[in-house]
Amino acid sequence: MSVDLRSRIDALWDDLTPAERRVAALVRTDPDLLLLRTSAETAAESGTSKATVSRLVRALGFRDAGEVRRSLLVARGSGLPWAATRSPDVDERTVEGRNLDAALTSLARADRSDLARRIVAARRVTVVGLRNAHPLALQFRAQLAQVRADVRLAPAAGQSLGEELADLDAEDVVVVVSIRRHASVVGRVVARCADAGADVVVLTDPTGAVLAAPARTVVICPVDSPSAFDSLAAPAAVIAAVANDVYVASGTDGRARVAAIADAYDALDEVATP
């Protein structure tokens, strides 16, 4: 029996309860939790219950936690933890392909056309990105700004988040990008924006799903890699896909803005031509 718990969790994610997602996010980050810890210990770490852990185990296709441990031990061969047995020779293309498939499937479940229309219709779009998510947020903001006006990046240089989020309301869309080793404030940012009535969209990896719970739309992008560093290829692909969807949904207004920006480039001689 295959014990690719990450893929199983990705496939089941949308059907899990919020409590089950809390356990699943932990297990997806470190599959050996189910090998090295009891159900009670896993429940305590995720802030849930043994019953929740048991329901997740059954949803993943196992009779009980004992069967999970036996299957993991057989798969590991040596019985050593996952991190100690991962092969450095894993085909990166296979991992990246799996990441991309899972991310685009999650985006499809979010209703791409509806998401694009909401971004087009918003009074203002605020893209939030902290720590290693900042470059992704910067790219997202840059692409959306090609298509519509009033797209801002938060926090701006020299500012804290408070200045950027103080005047949100139901006419705002807030896109929060957060990749694992999340800034501790991310969950509070999502909750604050949702409480203000904003349309909150979260782009994250599976470990951030718990933080994203109050959001209207959550797109899960795995960042698995056989190397020592996370791969940002899947979230970058999702950002490009959403930006293109927004361009299509913007119609003549979007095309006119793109043309005006191109004219400004030419007038300023700002962009080199090949």
Q: Tell whether 213 and 114 lie within a shared domain.
A: yes
Q: Tell me the average pLDDT across 228-251.
A: 92
Alpha-carbon distance of 238 to 219, in angstroms, equals 9
Residue 200 confidence (pLDDT) above 90: yes
Residue 248 confidence (pLDDT) above 70: yes
What predicted TM-score, i.e. pTM, was given to this entire model? 0.70
Structural domain count, the chain:
2
Q: Tell whether 82 and 101 lie within a shared domain.
A: no
The stretches of the chain forming alpha helices (DSSP H) are 5-12, 18-29, 33-36, 39-46, 50-59, 65-76, 82-85, 92-109, 112-121, 134-145, 161-165, 186-195, 233-268
What's the pLDDT tens digit per position in 104-146? Answer: 888 988 889 999 999 999 999 999 999 989 999 999 999 999 9
Of 37, 62, 86, which one is at a domain's C-terminal end? 86
pLDDT for 11: 85
First to last CA, the chain: 54
Of 46, 66, 86, which one is at a domain's C-terminal end? 86
Alpha-carbon distance of 25 to 96, in angstroms, equals 20
What's the pLDDT tens digit per position in 54-101? Answer: 999 999 888 888 888 777 766 655 444 444 444 444 567 777 888 888
What's the pLDDT tens digit per position in 1-29? Answer: 345 778 888 888 888 898 888 888 888 76
Q: Tell whether 68 and 107 lie within a shared domain.
A: no
pLDDT for 75: 60
Residue appearing with tokens 């290829």: 233
Instruction: Tell me which residue range forms the domain holding 166.
Output: 97-268
Q: What is the CATH number of the domain that holds 60?
A: 1.10.10.10
